[in-house]
Structure 1
């Protein structure tokens, strides 16, 4: 854990310094791996939050793009980036939870 973190940070730094856009995609793979490494070092498994997000992950996948499109569309346009991000996050979680409950309720009746 102690060796991997500085090496990953160094690789991220070098890749960003190249300013070659295709190499940035490698950084997007290293950063989550680095976060998982640090969380495993802390012996924190996420508990209920990650379990809940895992249960609604398919619904998040289905609805997240819709909220991105709707909140900066022709009829609704949130100009503040912070409000836009917060709105997307909040509406995605709420609508995903509702859709998950609706889908699970209909499966239990079949």
Structure 2
């Protein structure tokens, strides 16, 4: 019985430790950007631009849905930043849905 309680206590302690260390993507809402077209080359271009970006923790491209999903890093991005950066690499957004709202044209900020 004592071993079971000790094991349970250790599991709960470990669980609380790992819960405190969850990445930002688990606690904040991502931004989903719809683009006109998305292919494998497009996805590579998006990853090349954003994989090492200090504002982006993770980026996911969905070729079937023509979307790019951004998860913010500790130094977050703005809706305008994502819109402009995608436009500059030829992936002009048609719609952006994020914590700051929904945009069908380039955001002001």
TM-score interval, normalised by the smaller of the two chains: under 0.3
Alignment TM-score, normalising by the size of structure 1? 0.24
Structure showing the higher strand proportion among its residues: 2
Alignment TM-score, normalising by the size of structure 2? 0.24
Structure with bigger RCO (C-alpha 8 Å, 6+ apart): 2
Structure showing the higher helix proportion among its residues: 1
